[in-house]
Chain A
């Protein structure tokens, strides 16, 4: 049973969900989901396919192309699509980074994290979102915005 991984990615992104969020909502391991979306595991079990279709609220057979694809424009915006309490992967990583940050530096890091969040830069990439990665980006942003007046 072959999943159309390109359509799966489009449906996920149209909802503004991360791979981890969709995997969580479907009840499958994130590594398994990543392989499916990369097209490395397109011959998936029927149960996995059904779980993904349920999580995405699309008709049975959508992901194989047997049912018509939904209009991506009609899919609710990310803010209107709460997944498991709407705590995103970015929120989790940001919370972990702030927890590791010594108290005196925390307010400045919070400001930089918010700038990164609003840019959407890390959320839109297909690279793993890690505390180390966010920490590096926050340091870049801090270096260049600390003394800006805009």
Chain B
């Protein structure tokens, strides 16, 4: 299992949620409706948030969301899906902090997955499995499977 996958699934399962999942879904839909361009960068741009990359993060860190600067900085990756997920994760941090919502890291991952594959996209595409959702959303396969599990549980 990829370390990020392991961490994300552990935090989704282990960190008690502090934000109602319906609110997370609503935030994701709202951000999707305001998108300004393709991919996660377009989602961020719709919120007037810039995305930049930097390879200098300390080990164990892949990004940071700077609320006051409206800036997300992520570690670049040769794998597009991995880099996209890093942006979505930091955008989720930014959105929850900007909204002043007390949140757990599990909430951040749940919102990141919802941003990557909003409920409206899932209803429209009706993917049969995580692989199909990964293909239409650009999420890594494991994240797409986790997103479908999240929807099934709701």
Contact = CB atoms under 8 A, between A and B. Distances in A.
A121 B93 CA distance: 9
B52 interface: yes
Contacts of A10: 14-16
A140 B56 contact: yes
Interface string B62-87: 01111111110100000000000000
Interface string A63-77: 000000000110001
Interface string A110-150: 00000110111110110100101110110111011100101
A9 B16 CA distance: 10
Contact of B60 (A77, A125, A134): A125
Interface residues of A, dominant DSSP: helix
Contact of B59 (A73, A127, A150): A127
Contact of B66 (A119, A132, A133): A119
B66 A140 contact: no
B56 A139 contact: yes
Interface residues of B, dominant DSSP: loop
A34 B64 CA distance: 25
A13 B104 contact: yes
A145 B63 CA distance: 14
A115 B16 contact: no
B14 A9 contact: yes
A141 B57 CA distance: 9
B13 to A, nearest CB: 9
A40 interface: no
Contacts of A143: 54, 56
Contacts of B71: 144-145, 148, 150
A63 to B, nearest CB: 16
Contact of B61 (A13, A14, A125, A150): A125
Interface of A: 6, 9-10, 13-14, 72-73, 77, 115-116, 118-122, 124-125, 127, 130, 132-134, 136-137, 139-141, 143-145, 148, 150
Given A9-B14, A136-B56, A140-B54, 4 more contacts: A10-B14, A118-B66, A119-B64, A121-B64
Interface of B: 14-16, 18, 52, 54, 56-61, 63-71, 73, 93, 97, 102, 104-105
30 contacts: A14-B16, A73-B18, A77-B102, A115-B68, A118-B67, A119-B93, A119-B97, A121-B65, A122-B61, A125-B60, A125-B61, A127-B58, A127-B59, A137-B58, A137-B64, A140-B54, A140-B56, A140-B57, A140-B64, A141-B64, A141-B66, A141-B73, A143-B54, A144-B54, A144-B71, A145-B69, A148-B69, A150-B68, A150-B70, A150-B71
